[in-house]
């Protein structure tokens, strides 16, 4: 992508809805890292937006739906996309369970056990990321790395710890 595209087809700010509240230190850490990583490196472009970005994104949950509120850098509304969370339920549930096992393993397991759990965790994360990309297809163009970081945020929207 040319440098000009990299500057306009990207997020410069990500905000999670205030109603999400605080969670465990592990979850808060995942949330902070995902937002930082997402801002540092992403590819994000609402389809059919001739003006381009950079963009601000507010993620929230409303009645079991994931809301993507996209704005320009100056706060001007671009688009709002609402996605059903149904396609994510099993993946997120399984991801929570394996994350709990992972955090416990970090405290008490051998490196090989931790690595095996982490491989499963990454596989589920990839599956969720691909599902998110598929659900956003035709609405918002994102690359796989951006989808991975966004999927982490989708998970922490649910995860109260």
pLDDT digits (tens, 9 = 90+) for 70-89: 999 999 999 999 999 899 98
Domain boundaries of the chain, sorted by first residue = 3-158
Contact in structure between 69 and 57 (CB atoms under 8 Å): yes
> Is the model's pTM score more than 0.75?
yes
Contact in structure between 6 and 41 (CB atoms under 8 Å): no
pLDDT at 40 over 50: yes
How many residues in the chain? Answer: 161
């Amino acid at each position: 992508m040319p440098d000009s595209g990299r500057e306009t087809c990207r997020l410069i700010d990500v905000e999670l809805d205030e109603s999400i509240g605080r969670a465990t230190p592990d979850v808060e850490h995942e949330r902070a890292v995902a937002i930082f990583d997402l801002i540092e490196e992403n590819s994000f472009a609402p389809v059919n937006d001739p003006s381009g970005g950079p963009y601000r994104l507010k993620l929230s949950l409303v009645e079991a739906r994931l809301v993507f509120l996209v704005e320009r850098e100056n706060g001007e509304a671009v688009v709002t996309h609402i996605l059903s969370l149904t396609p994510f339920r099993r993946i997120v549930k399984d991801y929570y369970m394996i994350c709990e096992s992972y955090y416990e393993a970090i405290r008490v397991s051998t490196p090989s056990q931790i690595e095996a759990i982490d491989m499963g965790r990454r596989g589920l994360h990839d599956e969720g990321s691909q599902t998110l990309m598929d659900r956003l297809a035709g609405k918002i163009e994102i690359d796989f790395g951006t989808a991975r970081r966004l999927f982490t945020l989708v998970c922490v929207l649910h995860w109260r710890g």
